[in-house]
Amino acid sequence: MIEELLIYQEADAKLRKIETELSGSEARKKALSAKKYLESVEANVDNLDARAAKLLDVYEKALSEQEKLKEFETEFESAVKEADNSSEVSYLIKKVDEVSVKIKALSAKLNKLAEEIQSVVKEYVGIKSTTKAMQAQYAENGKKYNELKASVKDEKEAVEKELEKLKKNVDPALMDRYLKKRAAKIYPVVYEARDNVCGACNMELPMSEMNRLKNGEVIECSQCGRLIYKKK
């Protein structure tokens, strides 16, 4: 029972090698990195649009308020020149000072808002530049990755056909267990027990599990998840 699965796993190693070569290729990594960035661009631009709209709205309101205060300041200054008594002059001068302080505060706020708006513009420029570079990276490396896949296509198909034949010799239930482990990125899947430990992770196996192994069962290691067997 286990012998047929071991033969299958040996053939599966050839498929695993091809898959590892493809998934670990620099072209695939660069293409995926570029794709991930490009998929995030729309959301990033939307966030910048929202920030820019909010900043512009606050800037325009502050600018409008500043212009009104400057009008008040001019009116108060004119009133000071036309005032008839000292108490009225003092009151108007006080108002001019208050308005002047508010104008200065708004000027500082406008300068800060202008800096933030400029920062958003720089981010737009940066995104545009990076997006162009990522589009080129995706196109170039996507092409290289497709060429790499094409170069191993025949070999991969031959191995897959071989596995389909070997699969028929393996107990269906055991084959199902193997394939589930394989799909979970566990490989190699099957290991031989060494004395009383898992051959993959060296975890000591309980006596009850050892008895099952001696009876010819294939067990699952509770630590690494591999399928463990013992030679008769």
Tell me the per-residue pLDDT of 51-61, one tens digit each, with 9 for 90 and over.
899 999 999 99
Higher confidence at residue 86 or residue 155? 155
Spell 114-145 as b/e; 16+ CB within 10 A means b.
eebbeebeebeeebeeebeebeebbeebbebb
Q: In the chain, what are the helix, strand and coil shares in percent, each to the nearest 5?
A: 80, 5, 15
Report, as an integer, the average pLDDT of 92-121: 89
pLDDT > 90? residue 144: yes
What's the whole-number average pLDDT of the chain? Answer: 92
Q: What is the DSSP letter of 85?
A: S
pLDDT > 90? residue 86: no
Q: What percent of the chain has pLDDT over 70?
A: 100
Q: What is the pLDDT of residue 141?
A: 97
What's the Cα-to-Cα distance from 51 to each of 68, 116, 189, 204, rounded to whole Å?
26, 9, 52, 59
pLDDT > 80? residue 89: no
Cβ-count burial of 200 within 10 angstroms (0-12 exposed, 13-18 middle, 19+ buried)? buried
Residue of 223, 217, 199 lying closest to 208 (CA atoms): 217
Does residue 113 contact residue 66 with C-beta atoms inside 8 Å? no
How far apart CA 27 and CA 43 sit, in angstroms, is 26
pLDDT > 80? residue 1: no
How far apart CA 147 and CA 140 sit, in angstroms, is 11
Confidence grade of residue 78 (pLDDT, cut at 50, 70, 90): confident
Q: What is the pLDDT of residue 99?
A: 85
Residue of 187, 227, 200 lying closest to 18 (CA atoms): 187
Confidence grade of residue 142 (pLDDT, cut at 50, 70, 90): very high
pLDDT > 90? residue 90: no
Confidence grade of residue 188 (pLDDT, cut at 50, 70, 90): very high
Cis peptide before 188 (omega within 30 of 0): yes
pLDDT > 80? residue 161: yes
- The answer to whether the pTM exceeds 0.75 is no
Per the structure block, which two tokens stand in for 202? 């060296």
How far apart CA 135 and CA 31 sit, in angstroms, is 9
